Structures are given as C-alpha cells and as structure tokens.
Chain A
Amino acid sequence: MTVVRRIGTALIAPLIAIVIAVVISAGVMLILGVDPLEALSVMFDFGDDPVQQITSMVTVLNRAVPLFLAGIAVAIAFRAGLFNIGVEGQYRLATVVAAGIGAMVTLPAPLHVVLVMVVAMTVGGIWAGIVAVLKVTRGVSEVISSIMLNTIALGLASFLLTGPFLGSEPGASIIRTETLPESAWMPSLDGLLGGLGLELPRRPLYGFLVIAVVIGVVAWVVLQRTRFGFDLRASGLNASAASASGVDAKRMVLKTMLISGAVAGLIGLPDLLGRNHNYNTDFTSGLGFLGIAVALLGRNSPIGIAVAALFYAFLDRASAPLQAADIPSTVVQIMQGTILLAVVVANELARRLARRRAEQANRQGDGAPPVIDPGAATAQPAGVGGPAPATATTDGGGTP
C-alpha cells in the first residue's frame, strides 16, 4: 500500500512530463503539417542494413558521452546550490590546453592519455575555481561571474589556438592545434562491438564511454554515500542549516566548483582523444549549455543524467533522417524544448501534490510528521526557475 503510493509519487512527475511533452509536440507537428506518428517512426528507424544500424547506435552513444559529462558537471554544482553556467568556457579552454600540451610531450600510451586528462581537469578546475574564489571572497554571484568568464575563456582559447598552440599551415581554412601523437589517442571500443558479433560501425565508438561511466559511478558514490556528499547536498538544500551543523560554507563552494570544473574539463576529450586528435576552429561548441538542460532533465542524479543524455543524443541523431523524410528537423528542437519545459513543470506539480498530501496527513493528526529526504530531492538554486529544493513527503503514510 505505502510502497505503491511511494512509487506512484516517484513516477508521477516523469509521467506528467511525458504526457505534456507528447501532447504539445504532437500539436506543434500537426500545425506544421507533419504526421506525428510518421515522425516517431523515422526517429526509431536506425537504418536498413546492419552497418547503418550499428553506426546509428554509435552516433547516439558518441553524442551522449560529452552530454553526460556536461550534465554531471552542471549537476554537481546544482546539488550544492550553485549554478555553474561556466561549463562552456571551462571545457573549451581545458580542451585547447590539453590538446596543446598533449601534442608537445612524448609519453608511453596509457600515461599520455592520463596526462591529457589530468591537464584538462586541472584547467577546467582552475577556471571554475576563479568563480568560487570570487564568490567566497567578494560575494560575486557565480551566475554572473561564470557567464562573464565564458566570454573570456572563449577569447583565451582562440588566442591559444591561433598563437602558442597553432599547428596548422598558415592560410589553412580550419585552424588547428598540432595533432596528438598516437600514444595519446583513446582506443575505440569497436573491438568490443566486433566481439559481440556486431558489424563495425562507420565511426569509432568512443573509448571515453568507459571513463564517462566511471565518472558517473564515482559521482553517485561521492554524492550519496560519503560525508562530503552529504554536506554538499545539505548546503544545496539549506545553506544556513548546513553551516549551523558545521559545514564550512566557503570551503564547500570552493570544493564544489573545483570538482564541477574538473569534470567539465573532460567534456571535450571524447572528441579530442577519440576522433579529431586536435582542437580546431570547428570543435563542437555549446555542450556546456546543453549540459544544463541535460542536468535539469536528469533531475541532477547520475542515472537520470545518463538517461537524459542518451535521450538528447537519440533526438539529435534523428535530425538527419527526419530531413531525409521531408520532415523539418526543427521537430527535434521542439521536442527537446517541450520535454525540458514539461519536466520542470511536472516537478513543480508533483512537489505541490506531495506537500498537499503531507498537510492533509498532518491535519488528520495521526502523528506522522513530514520528513524531508535529501536523497530524493532535486536541489536547484532558487531563482533558476526550477522547482523548490526540498520535496516533503509523508513517511509511512496515514494508515495505521
């Protein structure tokens, strides 16, 4: 009985979200003159022959890896009540520096990859650390400073690319850093696919997928199963309560931003180590901002973010086949937008529902107090437009 109710409470928000999003998307598609069912079937059509199908799946996974890392980077800050909009600048700067330094040194294969990763995480961490230092020492809002540092980071990255790290011929259309030596290339997982008896895809499956999974697991363990993670979440849920219970708020801001920035530094590496092997003028941009959407969609939990990243990547992949079927690819953006909106709305509705139920339970006076469960809450800083941080639920329900 109570189990059913609890599962119901957990599922109600995503369910409302899906219903709202499907209805709105279908409505918009009908207005555009697109048959929603046809669009859906195109999205799920991964191709006719095995090579096409495996290539489509690899495309989704390869796209999901950086999105997942971006989501984790944003979510770590979110959980501590910090809004790190600077992920974009952090990963761009980290990637160019990692590419530049990686190309300068000679190391045996596994160490070289590790060095590139360490450099990227350090640069990302330092850049995010600036935000933390400004907040802790001068009270500068991290929202403002991280946005402004984005612009500086992009300029700095351009300077480094066209100056110290320039590796392309003068006059080349695409300006790039020196290509990384092969010892710094991340091996692909194509061998694994072959081992599973699958066809080889037309693009390598990023070996960084493994790193991303490790990062996700570590993030989950640290957030949910350590004292530090508890303090971090407590700071996000109620900063003054946290510091009353002995959390040093300033140190927490600093540590959180350093970790968030270090993870952000990894976002560009799947592409860098798995495919491009250099940073260039055409390097994928905007992943930091997409990370915010992915983190919101995934409700700041690593598993949720993984699902959200795969989902975004799945929709992204559909953009080419949709156009091939004469359906405007804007359908993809419409769906991404409505689903995100729906999730935010649904979270709020579910929160109100839960609170009303808690109040009713209180009024009945059966002695079951509302319990705040930090583990279930999606901590989002106030003023971001997300739902309020804590979700109150009755523990055990009202039935004796």
Chain B
Amino acid sequence: MRGARMRKAGLRAAALLTAGSLALAGCASDDSDSDSSGSGSSGGGDGDVKIGLAYDTGGRGDKSFNDSAYAGASAAAESLGAELQDLSPNADASNRADLLTQLADDGFNPIIAVGFAYADALAEVAPQYPDVSFAIVDSAVDGTGLDNATGLLFAAEQGSFLGGVAAALKTETDHIGFVGGVDVPLIQTFQAGYEQGARAVNPDIVIDVQYISPAGDFSGFNAPEKATDIAGAMYANGADIVYHAAGGSGQGVFEAAAAAGGLAIGVDSDQYETVGDAALQQVILTSVLKRVDVAVQSFIEDFESGDVEGGTDIVNDLSTEGMELSTSGGFIDDIQAQIDDYRQQIIDGDIEVSSTP
C-alpha cells in the first residue's frame, strides 16, 4: 500500500518533469522564430580567431598526447592573440559529438578534435557547421567528403624506427620490449617502426610485444597499473629497455622500469620533461616525439592566414619535424650520430619504413 503511494508520487514527479520539459520546449520555440535559427556559430567573430580544442579520452593532463595538442594550440593562441577553449570528454567518451557541437555553437573556429576516435563525431557534426573549419588529429579526411575538415596525420613508424635504433644501440641484453595501449592499427604503426629500427641495428634482437587491451576496449590508454605489470614482466624476463605507446598508461611503464633498474622510452611528448618525478626521469632514455603541438600550431596559423583548404590531409614526418627523438637528459648523446644517419636515410628515402608490423 505504501508502495502504491510511492508509485503515485513517482508518477506525479514524472508528470511534473514531462510538463516542465514541455514548458521549456515551449519557451524554446517561442522566443526566437525570427533570427538565429541556422547556425548561430560563426557569430561573435569579428575576425578574431577563437580556437576550440576537444580532447580524446584522458583529457588534459595526460602528460602525453592531449597535452601536446594543448601546447601547440596555446602557442598559436598566444602568437595570434586568440581565445582558446578546451573541452574534455566524459568518462566513457560518449559525448564527443556534443563537445564539437558545444564549441561550434559557442562560435569557435577553427575546432580541433584530438584523436582518431573523433572521426564519427566529426562526420556527424562538421556538415552541420559548413562555415567552421575543423581539424582532426590522427585521422584522414581525404575521401570522407568532409570539405571543411583537415586531417593531421603523423608518420609514427618513422619516429618509432629511431626509437628502435636507440633501444638496440643501448640494450645490454639484446632484449627489448614494446607496450602498446590498445591493439589498434594506429598503435601498431609504433610497434612496426620500433621493430624495424631495432632489427636494422641488430637483426637478432629479441623484442617482447604486448598490448594492454584488445581492440574495442580503450581502457588500455589509461591503465598505468596494468602497464606496470606488463612491463615488469618484460624486465623480469630479461628485457632492459621498454618502449611504450600507451598514452596515460606510460607512467606505469616508467615505474616498472625504475623498480627493475631498466630503461624506458616515452612517446608523443618529451616525457622526461612531463613525468614530474626525478627518480622516473632517470629511466627515460628518450621519447619518440609525435609533434602534435607542431601540427596543431601550424594548422591554426595556416587557418589564420587563410591557407586551410579543407578536405585534405597533412602528413607530419621526420622531414617536417613532425616526428622526432628527444634528447632531454643526455642519455642518447653518445649515439646521436648513428641516429642522425638513420634519420637522413629515411628522409632521403633510402630506408622505407613500413607502417604495419
């Protein structure tokens, strides 16, 4: 009987809610039939650039990919005197399209989506705002028919090749490892380049490869404790240098390296600088820099000077300094000449690095 009361109360609440939302919808259609119906987007801009940045899973503060994009965008914002707004997705990243819509509705232009996972959201939102320029990091737009979007691509296999060279030259056990965040083609390009680089130096080198999560489960980019377990097992198994392409999980690889007395190679940004722990700095041999910052900054500057075409892709590789090897800490100074030699061969096309393992 009390149950019936509660049910009635619940019904009443639901009715109230429905009524409320109807009322709200009513106001919605009341107040402005006149103007603002279409895209209220590019309003507010009197030539001033307003940069919108939408992050991938992990958001700002991942000390890697997203932070690198932020660095590039904020550098561009500073040099152009532009406004910068960045948004992070919710925990399950189900609101990517909403982030892009929010930025477009608030009049931001250009809008940069950080990460290939935005591809579907971009395909949905970009056509709704034809006057806004979008860019997406790590995903090709060529062939998708989106003529107001630009793909910012990276030849990750080239940078990873140099990482493999460094690891093979520095290893004392002829045994190295690779920890991938999620077993998807994008991360496999890191693995492919790393293996080719290491084998170019030493064809007999042993390379342990493991991914934290399979395709379809993106938790691997944000699971440092699992990364610690996996890398720890590799060190225990005889590997002395482990390269990670695992986003926020990389921290766990560094901790495993410190615990095992091994070395690790960072990814995306200069992790020697971003790791924020003196003990962990000592294990970071180098980082394979994917200069998302360079790519984002130059895209924004191109946009400002009206050079953005849309519907095309820009590939950043060793020749454009979109991929690099960091030298912080000075751990690879002694092998720099050999690394430069390989770099030049790749740029000249003498070495072709495959992007699949």
Contact = CB atoms under 8 A, between A and B. Distances in A.
Interface of A: 6-7, 9-11, 46-55, 57, 59, 63, 96, 154-155, 157-159, 161-162, 170-175, 196-199, 202-203, 224, 276, 280-287, 301, 303-304, 306-307, 310, 316-317, 319-321, 323-324, 329, 332-333, 373, 375-376, 393, 395
B14 A284 contact: no
B90 interface: yes
Given A173-B119, A320-B87, A320-B99, A282 B218 contact: yes
A162 B214 contact: yes
B90 A316 contact: yes
Nearest to A204: B124
Interface string B1-42: 111111101110110010001001100110110001100100
B14 A174 contact: no
Interface of B: 1-7, 9-11, 13-14, 17, 21, 24-25, 28-29, 31-32, 36-37, 40, 85-88, 90-95, 97-99, 101-103, 105-106, 116-117, 119-120, 124-125, 128, 138-139, 182, 184-186, 214-219, 355-356
A2 to B, nearest CB: 11
Given A159-B214, A281-B184, A329-B88, 5 more contacts: A48-B36, A51-B40, A52-B105, A281-B216, A319-B90
B218 A281 contact: yes
Given A154-B217, A202-B101, A287-B92, A11 B119 contact: no
Given A173-B138, A304-B10, A324-B85, A373 B24 contact: no
8 contacts: A49-B37, A53-B28, A158-B217, A173-B184, A175-B215, A303-B11, A306-B14, A317-B95
Contacts of B218: 281-282, 285
Given A281-B184, A282-B117, A307-B17, A199 B91 contact: no
B14 A303 contact: yes
Chain A binding surface SS class:
helix
A54 B120 contact: no
A47 B94 contact: no
B251 to A, nearest CB: 20
A101 B88 CA distance: 35
B9 A54 contact: no
Chain B contact surface mostly: helix
A285 B92 contact: yes
A155 B31 CA distance: 51
B6, B32, B219, B356 — most chain A CB neighbours (10 Å): B6
Nearest to A161: B216
Contacts of A11: 9
B32 A49 contact: yes
B25 A57 contact: yes
Nearest to A283: B216
A97 to B, nearest CB: 13
B120 A174 contact: yes
Given A155-B214, A284-B94, A319-B90, A171 B356 contact: yes
Contact of B40 (A48, A54, A286, A323): A48
A286 B92 contact: yes
A373 B3 contact: yes
Contact of A303 (B10, B37, B106, B119): B10
B9 A158 contact: no
A63 B94 contact: yes
Nearest to A174: B119
Contacts of B14: 303, 306-307
Contacts of B28: 46, 50, 53-54, 198-199
Nearest to A13: B6
A320 B10 contact: no
A54 B28 CA distance: 8
A51 B37 contact: yes
Contacts of A171: 185, 355-356
